[in-house]
Structure 1
Amino acid sequence: MASQATTRRVLTRVGPLHVRELGDGPPAFLWHSLFVDSSSWNRVERELADHRRLVLVDGPGHGKSGDPGHRYTQSDCAVAALEVLDTLGVTEPVDWVGNAWGGHVGIIAADESRPRLRSLTALGTPVHSYRPAERLRVALLAHAYRLLGPIRYLTDGVTEVQLSPSTRAEDPEAVALSNRCLRTADRHGLYNAIQSISLHREDLAARLPRLALPVMFATGRDHSGFTPDEAAMAIGLVEGGQLEVVENAAYLLPLEQPRRVINLLLDFWKSAT
């Protein structure tokens, strides 16, 4: 049975980050997707905490975390994650689990700070930088959000991308969580995050052949930004990499298909050496 969660605020180069710890055992570090926060792990964290000491972070500008007051990069986020682990006294290599944004940060951490990671799981994480049409769409969304805030047109648009059609039709709790995270986010902090790590995100393909640890990519069958074919091409650049395609899911795999994600993680962690 997982122990009660503890929370703290850790000062990092990307601002003060809200961190939760839950469970016992070898450490696992979880970083969520853009537009949601660490509550997006709620459906998987209790069972995972029976097997791992979970460290769950709210990224800058999300959830209960602050904003650094300046632009930052995915590499800055990777350093900040290590600052969190150092503050918590976690010296053992971690099993990194990142959803979209968190997967981007994890790939960089695995490339630049290999000894700190035991394994890497990237869920719904496009490795390419934005294509021109994608960049324009996100830039317009960011501009509208800055001016108007989380109006329904924007929250509905984000949810339509993040969640699969079946989730939107059959899982009102998942839809409500996605909408709530966007509605309650600090407007300045979230806008800064969109500008810093979404519009200017790095193309990570060149880093993939350098990853020298167990790696699993998983993507949703309905993920328009990282299709199964694109995921197969990406994992082909990682020696020994594992690919899983999750049905009835898009970006937010831990929220949409928690049972599948739990099983994938426990099996992967068991096999990772």
Structure 2
Amino acid sequence: MTIAPPPADELIVAGRRVRCRIAGDGPPVVLLHGIGRTLDDFAAQHALLARDHRVVSVDLPGHGGSAPLDVPHTLPALATAVAQVLDTAGITGPVHLVGNSLGGAVAMRLAADDPARAASLVLVNSAGFGREVTVALRLLALRPLGRLLLRPYPAVARRTEQAIFHDPAYVTEERIATALAVARQPHATRVMLELVRSLGTWRGVRPQWRRELLAAVAALDLPTLVVWGDRDQILPAGHLANARTRLPKARGHLFRDTGHMPQIERAAAFHALVTEFWARPPAG
């Protein structure tokens, strides 16, 4: 039996179904999740930010309830798809881009490809700042092992959730059920393998796209906040130091006793941090 992700809104973008949530009024904010995840990772922040922002949470192509693309799923393709969602939603001006993990790299790619769309970047335990990544993702780059590892087993889904959160209280049956529902989508394995193999190898994250992307983002001189959880088992907290080196004008923040998703484990503090960052006048 196929179980769908939790209900949300839906847009038709370039003939393709996109699962999303849009709420609130004020400066626009876009929330982008990580690889193999869904917009539900930003549910708490969506509700908090919608009090005084126009908030768009979106399932990336081929994730959750969003249909896959007709082209290979790569970082530039995902960024283009997000831009199309914004156009369809009638949001054409600059937006605050907030991305977790892969979503952070998508946010950076979108800002680099179309700077007029970006008011700021909030990069949450973001991909792009180092080679190191959990062995579970590196093994997916090996053929044919990747397909075997992506079979939707409950035990695997539970271990994945346990790796994401430092506090085991966040490893709920609801989150495990959502992860299984996402993994059981007929296109899920293909999308994951296309992304993993375009971004990395069994040795880790490829350096070529990281160097090019970070150089492009640094040249934008865009207000940027980089945050991390110090107990991240997916992308190590040492990447925050790399971010400060590659983006020297960016502001950084480390959450203590926090895993890969500070926006969930430290929801109130995260909300206060990003809204204060947006309210601060630009440097210089």
TM-score, normalised to structure 2, is 0.83
Q: Does 1:10 align with 2:12?
A: yes
Per the alignment, in what secondary structure is the counterpart of residue 231 of structure 2?
A: coil
1:144 is aligned to 148
1:155 is aligned to 157
Amino acid at match of 1:22: A
In structure 1, stretches of 5+ residues that fail to align are none
2:61/2:81 contact within 8 Å kept: no
Distance (whole Å) between structure 1 residues aligned to residue 13 and residue 247 of structure 2:
33
Amino acid at match of 2:173: A
Distance (whole Å) between structure 2 residues aligned to residue 132 and residue 221 of structure 1:
15
Identity of aligned residues (%): 21
Distance (whole Å) between structure 2 residues aligned to residue 46 and residue 95 of structure 1:
16
Give the 3 Å change call, closer, same or farther, for CA 260–131 of structure 1 in structure 2. closer
1:155/1:183 contact within 8 Å kept: yes
Cα offset for 1:135? 5.1
Query: Comparing 243-252 with 203-212, which one deviates more in the overlay?
Result: 203-212
1:209/1:239 contact within 8 Å kept: no
For residue 210 of structure 2, the aligned residue among 175, 192, 204 is: 204
2:133/2:234 contact within 8 Å kept: no
Give the 3 Å change call, closer, same or farther, for CA 161–77 of structure 1 in structure 2. same
Q: How does 1:79-98 map to 2 (within 5 A)?
A: 79-98=80-99
1:248/1:256 contact within 8 Å kept: no
Superposed CA offset, 1:244-266 (max 9, x none): 11122221222221112111111
Cα offset for 1:69? 4.8
Distance (whole Å) between structure 1 residues aligned to residue 147 and residue 114 of structure 2:
35
Distance (whole Å) between structure 1 residues aligned to residue 82 and residue 40 of structure 2:
18
Per the alignment, in what secondary structure is the counterpart of residue 192 of structure 2?
A: helix
1:98/1:105 contact within 8 Å kept: yes
Give the 3 Å change call, closer, same or farther, for CA 162–230 of structure 1 in structure 2. same
Distance (whole Å) between structure 2 residues aligned to residue 175 and residue 199 of structure 1:
30
Per the alignment, in what secondary structure is the counterpart of residue 227 of structure 2?
A: strand
Amino acid at match of 1:112: D
Amino acid at match of 2:187: G
Q: How does 1:29-178 map to 2 (within 5 A)?
A: 29-127=30-128, 128-129=130-131, 136-139=138-141, 142-146=146-150, 149-164=151-166, 167-168=167-168, 170-171=169-170, 174-178=171-175
2:32/2:39 contact within 8 Å kept: yes
1:246 is aligned to 255
Per the alignment, in what secondary structure is the counterpart of residue 204 of structure 1?
A: helix
1:262 is aligned to 271
Give the 3 Å change call, closer, same or farther, for CA 130–88 of structure 1 in structure 2. same
Cα offset for 1:78? 0.4
Give the 3 Å change call, closer, same or farther, for CA 89–272 of structure 1 in structure 2. farther
Per the alignment, in what secondary structure is the counterpart of residue 186 of structure 2?
A: helix
2:185 is aligned to 187
Cα offset for 1:229? 2.3
TM-score, normalised to structure 1, is 0.86
Superposed CA offset, 1:10-33 (max 9, x none): 3249x4321221110011111112
Distance (whole Å) between structure 1 residues aligned to residue 189 and residue 90 of structure 2:
32
1:220/1:248 contact within 8 Å kept: yes
Query: Comparing 81-90 with 193-202, which one deviates more in the overlay?
Result: 193-202
Aligned length: 261
In structure 2, stretches of 5+ residues that fail to align are 1-6, 200-205
Superposed CA offset, 1:154-185 (max 9, x none): 11221132111xx21x33xx433431221111
Cα offset for 1:37? 1.0
Distance (whole Å) between structure 2 residues aligned to residue 69 and residue 178 of structure 1:
29
